[in-house]
Amino acid sequence: MGTGGLVVFRSVTRGKKEIYLKARFHADGDYSSLGFRLHRFLSGVEFTNGLSGLESLEAILMNPDLQAFFPEDKVEEVREHRRQKMKAFKTVCNGFDCLVAQFVAQFKYGPGGLYILPLSSPLVCEFVYVIDYDADAPQPLSVITWQGSAEDEAKTCSLAEFRSLCRGPEDEGEQPPLKMKRMVRSPVTASEGVAFKRQDASGPRA
């Protein structure tokens, strides 16, 4: 039986709280595993108000159904731009709703593992992480965390304080394994249009 982890993303606007996502991890939900990865993801977030340059092209040119309509050198430029961000654990987010979507994209590798829960489900799990976003705060992201059903014992942390709870492989001098998705083009004919098959590849990001 795995150690579960519950991650909640919530916006806070003038005291009003609104939940955007509840996601349950079936295993490795403790501070040294999920907590460590969550901190690394959140600490690399860069919020923007609108997108420009290569950032404005990434969602389009990394879509395998659209790549054939653009010059190969431009697709490769955007692909390399993404590689460099992944190496640095940097995530550019066009607002909080974009951040929530990118969390799912980066933490869901295939069937199982991560499950989206109804927003009405209780905040109870072996480890609970509530990420609050307050656009008016000097540091817009903070984490509230507790174990089990002990919400009354919750710790409210800045990202730096949250890091002190989460010891991961890097603290032991070990580089954690990374995963990325590789796109593989499938054979097509002119009448079939453009089609792609997606394969997952494990290992260090190039």
Q: Is the pLDDT of residue 186 over 50?
A: no
Q: What is the pLDDT of residues 114-138, one digit of tens each?
A: 999 999 999 999 999 999 999 999 9
Q: C-alpha distances in angstroms, 57 versus 172, 173, 185?
A: 38, 36, 20
> Which structure tokens are listed for 3?
């150690």
Q: Residue 38: which of 164, 114, 127, 129 has the closest Cα?
A: 129
Q: pLDDT grade, residue 189 (50/70/90)?
A: very low
% residues pLDDT > 90 (the chain): 65
- Give the ranges where 88-203 is alpha helix by DSSP (H): 96-107, 159-165
Q: Is the pLDDT of residue 197 over 50?
A: no
CA dist., res. 74 & res. 15, Å (int):
44
What value does the mean pLDDT of the chain take? 83
Q: Which of 59-68, 115-124, 191-200 has the lowest mean pLDDT?
A: 191-200
Of residues 110 and 150, the one with the higher pLDDT is 110
CA 126 to chain CA centroid, nearest Å: 21
User: In the prediction, which pLDDT does 86 show?
Assistant: 86
Q: Using the 8-state DSSP alphabet, how is residue 118 labeled?
A: P
Q: What is the pLDDT of residues 74-101, one digit of tens each?
A: 999 999 999 999 888 899 999 999 999 9
Q: pLDDT grade, residue 15 (50/70/90)?
A: confident
> Which structure tokens are listed for 176?
């954690």
User: In the prediction, which pLDDT does 1 show?
Assistant: 52
